[in-house]
Amino acid sequence: MFTLPDLSYDYASLEPFIDAETMHIHHDKHHAAYVKNLNDALAGQEDLLSMDINDLLGNLDKVPEEVRTKVKNNGGGHANHSLFWEIMAKPGVPAPEGKLLTEIKNSFGDFPTFKEKFSGAGLSRFGSGWVWLISSGGVMEIMDTANQDTPVSEGKVPILALDVWEHAYYLKYKNMRADYITAWWNVVNWKKVEELFTKGGEKK
Ligand code: MN3
């Protein structure tokens, strides 16, 4: 069985940038529903239910065809949100430094340019989806995906994730996705991003 992870901070911790009510609905309703639907789709298939979610998404060919789309969508929703909660924290985490900053500079020129490109990808993503900073074996790229599609399915290592579904921001920001993205940078947990970079995304 897949389970909904608790947040490692209070629902109100990301205020004023992301409001507590949005966090409650997003985590307790949306993410919980992805977990429930994923478990329902795989009911009785203990071998699949006991897999690591990222391994499952990287091996969708093991999933019976009749539930594959459901597993891709809801499993993606589970994995994507699990990462999203972790790469956010109470405002005030210092900007990246060290190897992570060096790699961002090597890949995008400088830190402000990286932020601009990442934000731009979030703004231009049509409809629902995600923006990612990928770092696989030292190669950094920004990508965006539709719906709950995840770069993990392509064997890539995401180290930063931004949810641009309307449910992530509509209560507070209405249709102003740009304002949400600008605010979101204040709650990025660069410590966690650095950890993910060091663990799987660093140049070998
Ligand atoms: Mn979401």
pLDDT score, position 200 = 78
- Between the CA of 109 and the centroid of ligand 1 the distance, in Å, is 30
Q: Which of 55, 86, 117 is the last residue of a domain?
A: 86
- The angle at the Cα of 9, spanning 199 to 20, to the nearest 5 degrees, equals 125
Helix, strand, coil: what percent of the chain each, to 5? Answer: 55, 10, 30
pLDDT score, position 204 = 53
Which portions of the chain are predicted below pLDDT 50? none
pLDDT score, position 139 = 82
- Residue 3 within any structural domain of the chain: no
CA distances from 117 to 133, 134, 154, 159 (A): 10, 13, 22, 16
- Between the CA of 121 and the centroid of ligand 1 the distance, in Å, is 17
Q: Which two tokens stand for residue 202?
A: 């660093």
- Between the CA of 26 and the centroid of ligand 1 the distance, in Å, is 6
- Between the CA of 164 and the centroid of ligand 1 the distance, in Å, is 7
Q: Which two tokens stand for residue 141?
A: 């790229």
- Between the CA of 102 and the centroid of ligand 1 the distance, in Å, is 30
- Between the CA of 52 and the centroid of ligand 1 the distance, in Å, is 20
- Please count the structural domains in the chain: 2
- Residue 65 within any structural domain of the chain: yes
132 beta partners:
143, 161
pLDDT score, position 201 = 63
- DSSP line for 45-87: -HHHHTS-HHHHHHTGGGS-HHHHHHHHHHHHHHHHHHHHHHT
For the domain that residue 179 is a member of, what is the CATH number? Answer: 3.55.40.20
Q: Which of 86, 107, 129 is the last residue of a domain?
A: 86
